[in-house]
Copies of this chain bind each other. A is one copy, B any other.
Amino acid sequence: MSQNDPPVRGLAALPSVQRLIDLALDEDLGRGDVTTASTVGRDAAPATANMVARAPLTVFGLDVAAAVFAKVDARVILERKAHDGDRVQKGALLLVARGPAGSLLEAERTALNFMQRLSGVATIARRFADAVAGTHAKVVDTRKTTPGFRVLEKAAVLAGGCANHRFDLGSGVLIKDNHVVACGGVRPAIERARARAPHTLRIECEVDSIEQLREAIAAKADVVLLDNMTPAQVGECVKLAHAAGVIVEVSGGINLDTVRAYAEAGADLISAGALTHSAPAVDIALDFVGAS
């Protein structure tokens, strides 16, 4: 590892991500590794471990995994064999870690837990992106992310070929039904947001009906969100909206079976909570290959 190839980089260097890694190491390793200590010994001979895909998947999380090893033992040398966003086959080598065997064993589970979850998000994002390939639509994520993982899961979504919706409550205006009710209608809600929100943000408003859609267009919304409509209904709304230069997002009940129909209906954006809230972990393992 040369001095210009530091183990901690990218998002893994963010203080908030460092805090998440610390939580993870404290909870798994904070009382030591009693098995390794009592059998192998903490200062065991150097070993080499290969992080390997056990199934086809899209990679994300190498920087975080590397940071986990580096935190457990700064003597561990890491060699990245893949890049975030790579689609790899079963058996692909992702990362090689060389260092004291005890340290590799101690870091193994935490590093893999991050990799399996984040690559799981990238992998399902890849499937969604493929499902709309050739259409105009982008599949975007939501704020339904694992608490504490927002910045990582959003990056995994990008690595998988989908796009990001707003990062958080402060980086996008999305007027929902409760805001509309509290403001007494779509128009006053949009007008208030236009007047008071930072000029760097577009104004997006959820609409439930053609009437609300017309009201949103009249109030000069930049984006409308159509929730729980059929592709046919979406198609109708898209015509109205696009004629007025308004961007259309759809949400509600989006899955791999339905997403293409919405894309073909003309939606610009299709948001799917399933990208992050229910992405199954993908199988990634650490194989020890003996002394380094």
Interface set of A (CB-CB < 8 Å, partner B): 1, 3-6, 8-11, 13-16, 18-40, 42, 44, 71-75, 101, 105-106, 109-110, 112-114, 116-117, 120, 138, 140, 143-151, 154-155, 163-176, 178-179, 181-183, 189, 192-193, 195-202, 204, 222-223, 247, 249, 268-269, 273, 277-278, 280-281, 288
From the candidates B44, B155, B169, B280, name the one contacting A29 in the complex (CB within 8 A).
Answer: B169
Is A173 within 8 A of B38, CB to CB? yes
Interface of A is mostly: mixed
From the candidates B117, B154, B171, name the one contacting A167 in the complex (CB within 8 A).
Answer: B171
Is A38 within 8 A of B75, CB to CB? no
Per CB-CB distance, the 9 closest pairs between chain A and chain B, nearest first, are A31-B170, A172-B200, A171-B171, A24-B147, A6-B74, A15-B22, A38-B196, A278-B280, A277-B281
Is A35 within 8 A of B199, CB to CB? no
**Total copies of the chain:** 6
Is A173 within 8 A of B8, CB to CB? no
Interface core residue of A29, A155, A198 (most chain B CB under 10 Å): A198
From the candidates B4, B22, B40, name the one contacting A75 in the complex (CB within 8 A).
Answer: B4
The smallest beta-carbon distance between A43 and chain B, in angstroms, is 8
